[in-house]
Amino acid sequence: MQTNSTWIPLFPLNTVLFPGGVLPLKVFETRYVDMVRDCMRREVRFGIVLIKSGREVGPAAEPEAVGCLASISRWDMEKLGLLILHTEGSQRFRILQTRELPDHRLEARVAMIAADKAVPVSAMHVRCAKALKLVIDDINSRGEAEQGVAFVSPFATPPQLDDAGWVANRWCEILPIPLKARQKLLELEDAGSRLSVVDKYLQQHKIL
């Protein structure tokens, strides 16, 4: 792991962001509107972390130890004080130290977790990739039918269905599992282990 000596802003949420994932956000609290504006001005990323204890609003929540950096790809301000963000997950990190700012925002010193190596989907997990394609196509077609041109796909394009890490991460995002379980999957060191857990889940629930 490579330690980041600078302090990065944290955004504690009741969600888990994975590398390569798409996360739309509506930001309305003044402290986080200011944080996002500062990130855009300095062209830096912020960290998305699952809340371990506490709430999204009010006093600073306690975050889980591992999170994911988020990059802002698009933004809009529908009305004063409400930012609409389109963010994408990049690299995972482990929190080494946190500090709370006067406005109750959190910053952290982190150690970056090495990105998953690009590993092809193995023969035993091909069914995972094929099933994921069907799910993505279904979600996109339903969204386009219901929302038309306003629909924004929850998946980054182009899909990387031949990459074990990408397939594992997308399944981890959409499986109907508790947030704590999703967090444990994020913390697994390698994509192969993550995909093996996903494959076992899909088989146990008769999805494959």
From residue 62, alpha-carbon distances to 52, 85, 143, 177 in Å are 5, 23, 34, 21
**Nearest Cα residue to 25 out of 54, 48, 59:** 48
H or E, element range at 123: none
Judgement on whether residues 6 and 108 belong to the same structural domain of the protein: yes
User: Do 194 and 147 contact (CB within 8 A), yes or no?
Assistant: no
Helix axes 164-174, 191-204, angle to 10 degrees: 50
Residues 72 and 128 in one domain: no
Looking at the structure, tell me whether residues 84 and 127 fall in a common domain. Answer: no
**What pLDDT, on the 0 to 100 scale, is given for residue 79?**
81
CATH of the domain at 142: 1.10.4060.10
pLDDT at position 100, please?
93
Number of domains the chain is built from: 2
Same domain, 50 and 150: no
Question: What are the tens digits of pLDDT across the range 142-184?
Answer: 999 999 988 989 998 899 999 999 999 999 999 999 999 999 9
Shared domain check, 147 and 96: no
User: What value does the mean pLDDT of the chain take?
Assistant: 92
CATH number (domain holding residue 23) = 2.30.130.40
pLDDT confidence tier of residue 2, bands split at 50, 70 and 90: low
Nearest to 6 by CA among 107, 114, 113: 107
Residue 3 banded pLDDT, cuts 50, 70, 90: low
Does residue 31 register a pLDDT over 80?
yes
Q: Give the list of residues 6+ apart from residue 40 with CB closer than 8 angstroms, or none.
A: 72, 75
pLDDT of residue 1: 61
Give the mean pLDDT of 35-42: 92
33: phi then psi, degrees, rounded to nearest 5: -60, -45
> What's the pLDDT band for 189 if we cut at 50, 70, 90?
confident
Going along the chain, which residue ranges are E strands? 2-13, 22-27, 46-53, 62-63, 66-79, 82-100, 106-112
Query: Mean pLDDT over residues 86-102, rounded?
Result: 95
Q: Classify residue 15: in a domain, yes or no.
A: yes
Strand partners, 79: 82
Kindly give the pairing relationship between strand 2-13 and strand 46-53. parallel
Q: Rounded to an integer, what distance in angstroms lies between the CA atom of residue 187 and that of residue 164?
A: 16
Domain co-membership, 166 together with 145: yes
Cβ atoms of residues 13 and 51 within 8 Å = yes
| Residue 117 domain flag | no
What domain range is 148 assigned to?
Answer: 123-204
Residues 106 and 9 in one domain: yes
pLDDT, mean of residues 72-99: 92
CA gap 73, 82 in Å, rounded: 17
**pTM across the whole model:** 0.91
